[in-house]
Amino acid sequence: MARPERPAIPACAGMTRMRREMMDPLFDFTGKVVLVTGGSRGLGYQMVKAFAERGADVIIASRKLENCEKVADECRALERKAMAFAMHAGRWADCDALLEAAWAEFGRIDVLINNAGMSPACPSHEIPETLFDSVLNLNFKGPFRLASQTAHRMSQGQGGCIINISSSGSLMALPMVVPYGAAKAALNAMTVSLAKEYGPKVRVNTLCPGPFLTDISEAWDPDKREHQPVALGRPGYPAEIVTGALMLASPASSYTTGALLQVDGGPR
């Protein structure tokens, strides 16, 4: 099977004004503030750039400040405001500090994307308690804190949108990575409940990626990087997460909340 070409994404800062003039109003985020955890690489990076290219000011949060600053500089080159913030997305104190800094800088968040995560493989009977706690903290405990606190602030203001990045692993058997799949399943359940609790002013949805060629995939064997047992027969390119995030964040999706959108190459 021929492998498709990588999807093209605009990358030239010199075309910023032209892109704005040609902007589809359904995906125009001019004046919006978008926060992405784990935004310095992989799927998070692609989403940060996609929103910045469509007019949004962005907040890039991740563990290493220098990596966040590199992405922030790319967004500033697009004539957008960008804030880099170093934090551990599994710790509530860091989550609270991030929100305080975001509100101090921008006065609000319009879109929160809970993207940070980790999925170390280990036989279930060998998983130490420290690793179990780390996986649950980063994939569920921290996202819960960020989502709940952001939703509360949004509900007190002009409203907003929260997108929780889950995984196709939350919907199937996932041997060797059980705490990760369980944490992402909890994220799915959290989405539905928060959508009900903080609606109608706040929309909360789940974006559920499948196998993507991010930095994690560098450890895969070569065949796995070419082929996957999904309907499309291949892993996804990071850029292919963009349309799902834009759709869920768009004001045109104002009647979509508590939903789970799978971007996973189709059924296995």
List the catalytic residues. 180
C-alpha to C-alpha distance for 214 and 240, rounded to whole angstroms: 11
The amino acid that residue 131 corresponds to is L
Size (the chain), residues: 268
C-alpha to C-alpha distance for 28 and 260, rounded to whole angstroms: 23
C-alpha to C-alpha distance for 76 and 57, rounded to whole angstroms: 9
Tell me if the bond preceding 120 is cis, omega within 30° of 0.
Answer: no
C-alpha to C-alpha distance for 34 and 54, rounded to whole angstroms: 11
| Dmax (CA) of the chain | 57
Cβ 176 vs Cβ 123: under 8 Å: yes
- CA-closest candidate to residue 36, choices 127, 139, 165, 130: 165
SS3 category, 205: strand
Per-residue CA distances from 228 to 91, 154, 257 (Å): 34, 39, 30
**Cα–chain-centroid distance for residue 267?**
22
DSSP H or E stretch at residue 160: strand 160-165
C-alpha to C-alpha distance for 235 and 213, rounded to whole angstroms: 6
Cβ 80 vs Cβ 32: under 8 Å: no
